[in-house]
Amino acid sequence: MSATCANCGHLLDGPYCSRCGEERLDPAKLTVWHFLTRSVPAEVFDLDSKIWRTLWLLLSRPGFLAIEYAAGRRRRYVKPLRVLLTVIVVYALSTASGSNYTLGWKDTQFKLSVAPAPLPAGQSVDNTLLRIDRFGILGRMYGEKMGPVDRATDDVRGRFSGMLNAVATPLSFTSVALFALALYACFRRRRALFVEHAVFSMHYFSFVLLSSLILIFGMSIGLKKSGFVFIGLWIFSVTLWQFAYLAVAIRRFYFAKSRKAVARAFAVVLAALLYVLNSFFITAVQFLAGAVAIWRL
């Protein structure tokens, strides 16, 4: 076994480096057998591992991870950007069937996406555009360039779907950045560093995607067949959870030092405005992704 740390070169006097915390290099632990019998089970089933600890705190304690990051206590948790990237991938794979939900106003076409709308590869161009644009603007753009939407060939549909997904994934981060800018504009006097607002935004966006998967899971097990009232209550519960989460997170992260009741009320009002604003950002970014995909055809 190595007498020096493979990471920093410091002399070792135990199984872990006293300078950087790296584990002593042991060739016996590099075998496939050790990886399958020790490393994988330890990471997956260890409830105290970074992955499960971070996910549990992300879902159960609004704003806590952002507070820990701002305070410099970061080693025990998965980094915010890595959490966001992982959740985006999981969300994209889990929504391949096309299930999603929106906020809408009665008797109007105006709808806001609570989470990014899934874009299945086999879906028609017409249905795809309807998911990301209820006003038909993108449909007219497509028609002017390519002809009637309902006559799109399989080749065009494949190219459009590929371009849209390629553009939509990077643009998902635009929603996170826009929300961080909105937080900075509202709370820059309470937290002057933009990165703190960005971390809060990444954690909240990750939570929105994960909580949205609960609704999608209900859809996949046949919840739609339970009746309109039941599915309405299901959607309302998830939406209320997301809103309450944001209100509590804002209260903890931005008003932790204030014990006044007015601060709590202010946090709730801001959470309502920011919740709708974030949905507007997601909807606008999806619309932009569709416009870029049409332009690139």
Q: Where exactly are the structural domains of the chain?
A: 1-45, 50-296
pLDDT tens by residue, 5-16: 877 888 887 788
pLDDT tens by residue, 95-132: 665 555 555 545 555 555 666 666 655 677 787 787 77
Span 20-24, mean pLDDT?
77
pLDDT tens by residue, 50-78: 888 899 999 999 999 999 999 999 888 99
Return the pLDDT at 276. Answer: 82
**pLDDT greater than 70 at residue 30:** no
Return the pLDDT at 89. Answer: 80
pLDDT tens by residue, 216-267: 776 666 555 555 566 667 778 888 898 899 999 999 999 887 777 777 777 7
| 142 token code pair | 């497509």
> Residues 153, 101, 135, CA angle at the centre, nearest 5°?
55
**Mind giving me the DSSP string for 203-257?**
HHHHHHHHHHHHHHHHHHTTGGGG-HHHHHHHHHHHHHHHHHHHHHHHHHHHSTT
